[in-house]
Amino acid sequence: MTGPVALCCGEPAGIGPELAAKAWRALGSDLPFVLIGDPSHLPPGTPVAEITDPALAADAARRGVPVLRHDFPGPATPGTPEPRHAQTVIDVIARGVDLVRSGQARALCTAPIHKKALQDGAGFRYPGHTEYLAALAGTARVVMMLASPALRVVPTTIHIPLAQVPRALTAELLQDTLRITHQALIRDFGIPRPRIAVAGLNPHAGEGGAMGREEIDLIAPLLERMRAEGFDLQGPISADTMFHERARATYDAAVCMYHDQALIPIKTLDFDRGVNITLGLPFIRTSPDHGTAMDIAGRDLANPSSMIEALKMAHTMGAARAAATP
Ligand SMILES: NC(=O)C1=CN([C@@H]2O[C@H](COP(=O)(O)OP(=O)(O)OC[C@H]3O[C@@H](n4cnc5c(N)ncnc54)[C@H](O)[C@@H]3O)[C@@H](O)[C@H]2O)C=CC1
Ligand SMILES: NCC(=O)COP(=O)(O)O
């Protein structure tokens, strides 16, 4: 795993181009990345260093934002995604995956996409990068983790309507999620004996069956079986009491049952430093924790911290995996 991090441009009408320029100014050639996208979408006045070989990214980063040119049908209007750009946004992600799978990039980092714009403009069938990357990689099970210095969280079900969560939540899904999370804490975060806290689904973790039975019928028996295998698991715990400071000190990651149960605490505690990581892929993928922020696009208001952390995390994970490879 060598080379730069491949940074997919994401939605060009969002804050992605601004974040790429700001991240380059912060990281320079120390932690090189190569932006896959249209250089004309970068903020006016941004120095650009176009390259055709990702291996030249570190050197190019001394002159400007290293860019592997991927032309879009036209200019981007900040704040207004255009249907004619949707397919190109998707193609850029696929190109990034090719780079990382062919060994030309050490990891993939993705700037945010506007999911509805891709659906409307190109019939995109996936609710997010996570599911699209799993399909491109041919991986049946991937796990979304959001990590910051304050907290690591994993939603077991991801981008589905809340009404579908109870049906989607199976012992098999939860077991795979726990195993993949456990393995990632060891391999990517250097935690030899990971402690995982598992949320219940219902208020008060079901209150002994009075407020729902998923804890009794599904979550607790699975945790019991996995504890017998040696996993260090707490739970099922009431989700409303597992994120205060003392509780957070007792685990290395919180596995939650649905998207907002996991993402609200981390975005509340650490919005500017959260990194979204897809676990279970045959390559490394990170992303900032936020979206396209259309309301501030093109106004030089975007905070690049989460993007910078995502690029740093991609490098750190790449180095850790390279060191572990015989
Ligand atoms: N990885 C990805 O591709 C992600 C994509 N999205 C997509 O982004 C679109 C917009 O989603 P929203 O729910 O509005 O979330 P959002 O994160 O784009 O914006 C929420 C609020 O936070 C602010 N904000 C976000 N990032 C910021 C930054 N770096 N600096 C300063 N302020 C920032 C925005 O201005 C807005 O007020 C949706 O289509 C969503 O699906 C959302 C999350 C991740
Ligand atoms: N809320 C997280 C999110 O939507 C990120 O999704 P993805 O594009 O990384 O799958």
Residue in 292, 295, 307 to alter for ligand 1 test, most ligand atoms within 8 A of Cβ: 292
> Which ligand is closest to the CA of 14, given by its number?
1
CB atoms within 10 A of CB 141: 13
Cα separation, 90 vs 71, whole angstroms: 13
CA of 292 relative to ligand 1 center, distance in Å: 5
CB atoms within 10 A of CB 137: 18
Q: What does the block give as tokens for 121?
A: 């403009």
Cα separation, 47 vs 43, whole angstroms: 9
CA of 113 relative to ligand 1 center, distance in Å: 9
| pTM of full prediction above 0.90 | yes
- Which residue is it, tokens 């320079």? 28
- Which residue is it, tokens 């250089």? 39
Query: Where does the chain hold its CATH 3.40.718.10 domain(s)?
Result: 1-139+281-326, 141-278
Tens place of pLDDT per residue across the chain (326 aa): 578 999 999 999 999 999 999 999 999 999 999 999 999 999 999 999 999 999 999 999 999 999 999 999 999 999 999 999 999 999 999 999 999 999 999 999 999 999 999 999 999 999 999 999 999 999 999 999 999 999 999 999 999 999 999 999 999 999 999 999 999 999 999 999 999 999 999 999 999 999 999 999 999 999 999 999 999 999 999 999 999 999 999 999 999 999 999 999 999 999 999 999 999 999 999 999 999 999 999 999 999 999 999 999 999 999 888 887 76
- The conformational region for residue 275 under phi > 0 = left, psi -120 to 50 = alpha, else beta, is beta
Q: What does the block give as tokens for 36?
A: 């896959």
Mention the CATH class of domain 141-278.
alpha beta
Residue in 129, 132, 261 to alter for ligand 2 test, most ligand atoms within 8 A of Cβ: 129
- Which residue is it, tokens 């409307």? 120
Binding-site sequence positions: 129-130, 159, 204, 259, 267, 276, 285
Which tens digit of pLDDT belongs to each residue from 157-194?
A: 999 999 999 999 999 999 999 999 999 999 999 999 99
Cα separation, 58 vs 77, whole angstroms: 30
Atom 2 in ligand 2: residue holding the nearest Cα: 289
The second-level CATH assignment, the architecture, of 1-139+281-326 is 3-Layer(aba) Sandwich (3.40)
> Which ligand is closest to the CA of 291, given by its number?
1
CA of 97 relative to ligand 1 center, distance in Å: 23
ipTM greater than cut 0.85: yes
